[in-house]
Chains A and B, each alone.
Chain A
Amino acid sequence: MNRGPVIFLGAFSAMALSWVGLIVQPQLQLGRSPQTTNTLNPVELYPQARSGLAQQGLQVYRSLGCATCHSQQVRQDGTVFDVALTSLGTNIAELVQAVQKVNPALSPAEAGKLVDMTPQIVLRGVDQATADTAVTNLSVGGAKAAAQLVALGPDLARGWGSGRSVAADYLFDQPVQLGAQRIGPDLANVGLRLPGRAWHFHHLYDPKAVVPKSVMPPYRFLFEKRKRGPQPSLDALALDGPSPRFDAGGTRTNWTSPDALKLSAGLAVPGGDELVPTDDAQSFVAYLLSLRADVSLFERPLSVVPPKPTAQATSATAAAVPLPAR
């Protein structure tokens, strides 16, 4: 009896199930999803397509295989809730008692200090039910409180993002470059973290000049050497001057000559020349700067840091802390 066809058909249908389950079904769920709505600013649709230059930069990113070492996915372990007082109402004494009831760890003096000004976080790191109860308990004498969500996880603590990456972030990326390794840091929000173009140009040309212990290879072929004209070219990395210093946002702080870069030993280029980023480098950096997923979505509610407390403790002027979607 020839069982070949039976075995073949049986096994083939068994395996084809995975095709249906992992390609057809996700395509129905994700592949046609439209832009989604920002939960904080419902007028704004998310994501917006990247600029043309940034889209060209994505092709440079793909072609150089940057995804071999860099991921673009931020993970999140979980969420907790903070409870903030947003307005104090009229009965401060009752509010102090309510605050103490909500957060028994506070001494009356501390509780009293907390109700001095708004918005002020009175309870940190609790689950949603506790936060909701606290919000109810704090609504005494016209006082108002709001629960706000805080996303947790080592990636977020590193400053790689304010919430986890979700499928919607990549809607317009063609091809999407998720990456599977973190030999270099995650780049999902590099545009937020390091918004300085000059920093990126210097880092691409000579990573060690900017990040001394970096193991990233230099991308010198993204720059061309030109004879220096009367004026430096736009974005040119001048070759003399002190080593560049950047603030946390990647903006040059020591401006002696435009974009001067002190290159590490062995990379110096003879004087009289300047290094100019090629079109590829320009679009590449535009792409890096476009990497920012800082929009609050239904599936990725972002915590909103309340504005700095002010001494004017009147409820009328207190800024409202937006309530994140659950």
Chain B
Amino acid sequence: MSGTLAPAPVPTATEPAAPAEIDRSCRWPVLLLFLLAVCWLVIASGLTLVASLKFHAPRLLADSAWLTYGRLQPAAANALLYGFAVPAGLGLALWLCARLGGVPLRLPGLAFGGALVWNVGLKLGLLGILLGDTTGFEWLEMPRYAAPILFAGYAMVGVSALMTFKDRRESQLYVSQWFLLVAVFWFPWIFSSAHLLVSFRPLRGVMPAVVAWWYAGNLTVLWLGFVGLAVVFYLLPKLLGGPLFSRYHALFAFWVLALFGGWTGIPQSAPLPAWMPAVSTIANLFVLVAAVAVVLNIRRTFTALPRPRSRFPLALVIFSTVGYGVANLLNTAAALPSVAAVTDFTLFTQARTQLMVYGFFGLAMFAGMYHTLPRLLGFSLPSVKLMKLHVGCALAGVTISVAALALGGVLQGQALNHPESAFLDSLRPGLMALRLSTLGDTLLLVGHVALFLNLAGAVIGWCRVAWPPVFAAALRSEAPEVAR
């Protein structure tokens, strides 16, 4: 780290190890993580769509316990979070650790195994939720028999990332590495301590709910936020071919988020001593300051550099940054007691979550995947059309869903606060929003299927390229046997 205010260097990875060598070392674990992420993304959006159809027809699929809304919706949310978000984030974290450290990935086999273990835990957990074994706490629904498997899977991938970080050959740390290092380490801590205190040695009374809120706040700001920002801070200068506007803006955001991000989770309406929601309000204000620093940094970087010819993953990065800014604005607004009086317990909460998980993190992951996949595979994705379809659907779907849920949530909250109108009338704007968000969910599903097809096509194509020599070699060695 230099003591001057000189702009940070562009992340380059040319000196120590050749990028091609690094990409080759990352290929198997990262591709597996991406494949799993995309498969689960399709499943998650399918589940979300079925769950949201229940608002059109409550009796739809109502005869089996495992298809009831109260199980489908958490299953969908968990599939998105632990099926898509975490594996995609881990995949990019591995690749970035290797690229930014200028070193081939350490222990790729362990990371590969970790991805498989994580997947086993995830399947078991989602099945458990559908069968009714949920813990009953949002984002911690994974039953107690699945959580340790997930933890082990994460730890295996995490060790690979940390070993790669430790052996880095680039002496100067790029800001993305700061964010990644801390996020990769922080997840096991929050995941294990939350599951321990919620389902293994449950605390009494409201305390598990407090733990769940703390966990959700940490996961949002310090894992999704940090990994997403690491990807954005890497990709933007890379795609524009210039330096990041200010390393110090980024580090300021890092420290503010690290200090205050973990305190943000307690909702205003919580039946807790008043100091706890108040602390969350203040923390949210600080997090907003950090978010402003991030958005300004990205904006200045973007405006200072010439536009590249290809706008493609760049548009996703920009939208993702906008999503980050708006999501933090909404979160901070909802942490103010006067606003929370309207927005708490409404669909506004869902809008905030979707914007953060999908509108910011998801889009950043897509940008990262589209950037890394050609490098990992050695050729570009087969269909530009499918790529455009996916990006278009993703942007339109998330915009429609979030806007509808946020607006519907505010209207719903206002109606809820007018006790003279019947409760069911307060649902009317909410139901309108939920039905509109079904449209968004459908678009997202279409987009995700396009992404899946594209990735599947690439993998099949890659097999075609990679396997004939193997077959040929096998046949050649076989030939003398036949002759004999």
B-contacting residues of A (Cβ < 8 Å)?
1, 3-4, 7-8, 10-12, 14-19, 21-23, 26-27, 29-33, 62-69, 71, 73, 75, 77, 154-155, 157-158, 164-183, 185-186, 207-208, 211, 213-221, 266-267
Contacts and interface: CB of A to CB of B under 8 A. Distances in A.
A73 B271 contact: yes
Given A182-B416, A221-B65, A15 B276 contact: no
Contacts of A166: 271
Interface of B: 1, 54-55, 58-59, 62-65, 68-71, 73-74, 132-138, 165-166, 171, 173, 178, 181-182, 185-186, 189, 193, 197-198, 202-211, 213-214, 217-218, 222, 254-255, 258-259, 261-263, 265-267, 269-273, 276, 279, 283, 341, 344-347, 349-350, 412, 416-420, 423-424, 426-427, 430-431
B136 A11 contact: no
B68 A214 contact: no
Contact of B430 (A15, A66, A171, A183): A183
Contact of B134 (A14, A65, A186, A213): A65
Contacts of A178: 206, 209, 270-271
Contacts of B209: 170, 176, 178
B59 A68 contact: no
A218 B71 contact: no
A181 B185 CA distance: 32
Given A64-B70, A165-B271, A178-B270, A214 B424 contact: yes
B1 A22 contact: no
Given A22-B263, A176-B206, A221-B65, A65 B71 contact: yes
Contacts of A176: 205-206, 208-209
B265 A211 contact: no
Given A8-B181, A154-B416, A62 B423 contact: no
A17 B58 contact: no
Contact of B210 (A16, A23, A216): A23
B258 A217 contact: no
Contact of A217 (B62, B254, B341): B62
B205 A171 contact: yes
A17 B214 CA distance: 12
Contact of B419 (A154, A172, A221): A154
A167 B68 contact: no
A180 B267 contact: yes
A7 B181 contact: yes
A73 B213 CA distance: 15
What 6 A-B pairs come out closest when comparing CB atoms? Answer: A65-B70, A18-B262, A63-B132, A157-B419, A62-B136, A165-B271
B24 to A, nearest CB: 25
Nearest to A26: B210
Contacts of B261: 15, 18
Contact of A65 (B69, B173, B193, B222): B69
A173 B214 CA distance: 19
A65 B73 contact: yes
B173 A7 contact: yes
A168 B206 CA distance: 8
Contacts of A164: 271
Given A29-B273, A166-B271, A167-B272, A64 B205 contact: no
A221 B203 CA distance: 32
A62 B263 contact: no
28 contacts: A10-B258, A11-B178, A11-B258, A12-B185, A15-B182, A15-B258, A15-B259, A17-B262, A22-B210, A23-B211, A26-B210, A29-B273, A31-B204, A63-B134, A73-B269, A75-B341, A75-B344, A157-B420, A166-B271, A167-B272, A170-B206, A175-B136, A181-B350, A182-B426, A185-B423, A215-B427, A216-B58, A219-B62
Contacts of B431: 215
Given A166-B271, A181-B346, A217 B58 contact: yes
A92 B345 CA distance: 51
Given A12-B182, A15-B262, A27 B203 contact: yes
A167 B271 contact: yes
Interface centre among A14, A18, A30, A180 (most CB of B within 10 A): A18
Nearest to A172: B205
B419 A175 contact: no
A32 B207 CA distance: 10
A281 to B, nearest CB: 12
B186 A15 contact: yes
Given A29-B273, A64-B132, A208-B58, 9 more contacts: A3-B173, A7-B178, A22-B279, A65-B136, A75-B341, A155-B419, A168-B205, A171-B205, A217-B58
Contacts of B416: 154, 182
B72 to A, nearest CB: 8
A175 B208 contact: yes
Interface centre among B133, B185, B203, B283 (most CB of A within 10 A): B203
A180 B138 contact: yes
A164 B341 CA distance: 13
Given A180-B138, A180-B345, A220 B62 contact: yes
Contacts of B135: 62, 175
B64 A211 contact: no
Contacts of A18: 214, 217-218, 261-263, 283
Contact of B58 (A33, A71, A175, A215): A215
Nearest to A66: B70
B415 to A, nearest CB: 10
A30 B272 contact: yes
A73 to B, nearest CB: 5
A67 B136 CA distance: 8
Given A14-B259, A68-B69, A217-B58, A31 B205 contact: yes
B262 A22 contact: yes
Contacts of A8: 181-182, 185
